Structure 1
Amino acid sequence: MKGKEKIKESIRKNYSKVAIKGSSGGCCSGGCSCNGEPIDIYNTTVNIGYTEEDLATAPVDSNMGLGCGNPIAIANLKEGETVLDLGCGGGFDCFLASTRVGDTGHVIGVDMTPEMIQLARKNAEEGGYTNVEFRLGEIEHLPVADESVDVIISNCVINLSLDKESVFKEAYRVLKPGGRLSISDVVATAELPNEIKQDLNMITGCIAGAEYVENIRKMMDKAGFKDIKLTPKDNGKEIIKSWVPNRNIEDYVIPYIIEATK
């Protein structure tokens, strides 16, 4: 347990630094690659699936290039729905969701990093968003009521959890009957070498914590989800290669779109 708490604290500290830097970015997959090379957040965000309109719509400081896909593109959000974002960061996906659910809808962002919540709240206030709120909490223990959410989104966060089974159980708990899960995450397609699994930078950088794809399916099925779909992103290898050049990490992990219903 001490080892897990140490890892969790390292993850929290890493994303605290990212939040403080804001849209200037941080490591990994936001602001610089895992080997320390700078990356362009605008091009990175477009490459993982967002449009120029998305970038123009959300507050600039909410987008730090932290993602591996675009869950909003697959969520099919409707006016009046309640949306929950697991690991909301600076609120980028929350703000995009808020425009789709409208004034009668509601968006909740949850993040375990106080600095991220502070940044997201600041972005919401400055942008005049009235249908969005941000709550400090862990995705394994969601500060959200039972059966109160229509749609759950998440972008490259569940891989960071040290208890993914609890994440899916919690997601199932808070979803309304008929609710849906629409997330983007990095999953393992082959056994990761030990030197990668034990590399703390690779853990905080959304690589080493990736769970094997069929294990994800089993966890979701055990939690109660139906209509489970796990689909690799077409440019997934390109995305991973941009994070970690020259190490062939893309042979072991790749971004997937993960969908299911309650």
Structure 2
Amino acid sequence: MSEQRSDDIRNAVRSSYAAVAEASEAGDCCGVESSCCGVSDDAAINALISTRLGYSQADLESVPEGADMGLGCGNPRAIASLQPGETVLDLGSGGGFDAFLAAAEVGASGRVIGVDMTPEMLAKARANARKGNYSQVEFRLGEIEHLPVSDGSVDVIISNCVINLSPDKAQVFREAFRVLRPGGRLAISDVVAGTELPEAMQQDLQLHSACVSGASTAAELTAILAAAGFADIRIEPKDASREFIRDWVPGSRVEDYVLSATIEAVKPQAGQVKGS
């Protein structure tokens, strides 16, 4: 992919999610074209979206109002097995929803870092953290291809429907490998391509921001993760997810091409043979 194309994608994604954050703050609705699942001024609609993705009503009620924006394509925390005292990194943390839920599991002795490249999202997340008094959560401005996080400092990386947006997924996973401690793990919800996308769909920047055009196949992601150094790679597509993906861009048939998946992998311990 050319540098110009990569820049075009990042700029389109940043602009789209800035619009999502601003619309959410204003109580407006900017529609599915601006994000994976759109944003609504109706908390009941956002709650319906999130419960379809695997969150409980208790999850929704435990975070500050406005943190759940109805974004995402799964619940990475459900596969993360978070433990008290762990350090968690949320890639593309948005309004902070998954970061705040992770904070409840790692407790006061743990730490959660959210990274997002959109200043408007970062401002929203920080405001939500103040409202909820999350002293162990911080949000940093940065791109997931160039994480503002030190080497070997993170136990678990979570992410919810964000890595598909990157034009350089190999760099994302190299960075993830760098910041994880040996034995650290990935617990990601994202979209994967079930079949090759039509060329017109691949080139559509609006569909890229809608979590469609940037989807890679499970085989491609497995190869990228292995090349980055990860072991115990498990990618499980969820065929039932096509039901809610259909709502992302109604009438476009995107559900014929992409579906949600869980993506898990481990950074081997020193001396551990990959796959053992």
Relative to the length of structure 2, the TM-score reads 0.90
Structure 1, 103-112 or 189-198: larger mean CA deviation: 189-198
Residues 31, 41 of structure 1: 8 Å contact kept: no
1:158 to 159, 163, 183: 163
| Equivalence map 1:66-77=2 (5 Å) | 66-77=71-82
Q: C-alpha root-mean-square deviation of aligned residues, in Å?
A: 1.5
Partner of 2:37 in structure 1?
30
Q: Deviations over 1:31-53 (max 9, x none)?
A: 369xxxxx921111111111101
User: 1: distance between equivalents of 2:11 and 2:205?
Assistant: 11
In the TM superposition, residue 216 of structure 1 has moved relative to its aligned partner by: 0.3
Alpha-carbon separation, structure 1, partners of 2:38 and 2:124: 17
Alpha-carbon distance in structure 2 between the residues aligned to 1:167 and 1:49: 25
Q: Extract unaligned runs of 5+ from structure 2.
A: 268-276
**Which is worse superposed, 120-129 or 227-236?**
227-236
CA distance in 2, matches of 1:45, 1:234: 17
1:244 aligned partner: 249
Supply the distance in 2 between the matched residues of 1:4 and 1:175 (Cα, whole angstroms).
26
Q: Specify the code of the residue in structure 1 equivalent to 2:38.
A: G
Identity of aligned residues (%): 53
* Counterpart check, 1:62 vs 2:67: yes
Q: How far did residue 166 of structure 1 move? A: 0.3
Give the 5 Å matches for 1:70-85.
70-85=75-90
- For the pair 1:124 / 2:129, whether they are aligned, the reply is yes
Per the alignment, residue 273 of structure 2 pairs with none
**Could you tell me which amino acid in structure 2 is paired with residue 120 of structure 1?**
A
How far the C-alpha of 1:245 sits from its partner, in A, is 2.8
Amino acid at match of 2:129: A
Secondary structure of 1:40's aligned partner: helix
2: distance between equivalents of 1:9 and 1:201?
11
Aligned AA for 1:74?
I
Q: Check 1:60–1:233 CA distance in 2 against 1; reply closer, same or farther (3 A cut).
A: farther
Equivalent-residue separation in structure 2 for 1:142 and 1:50 (angstroms)? 27
Runs of 5+ consecutive residues of structure 1 not aligned to the other structure: 34-38
Map of 1:36 onto structure 2: none
Q: 1:117 to 1:32 in 2, by over 3 A?
A: closer
> How many angstroms apart in 1 are the aligned matches of 2:46 and 2:152?
36
CA distance in 1: counterparts of 2:9 and 2:59, whole angstroms: 33
Which residue pairs with 1:97 in the alignment? 102
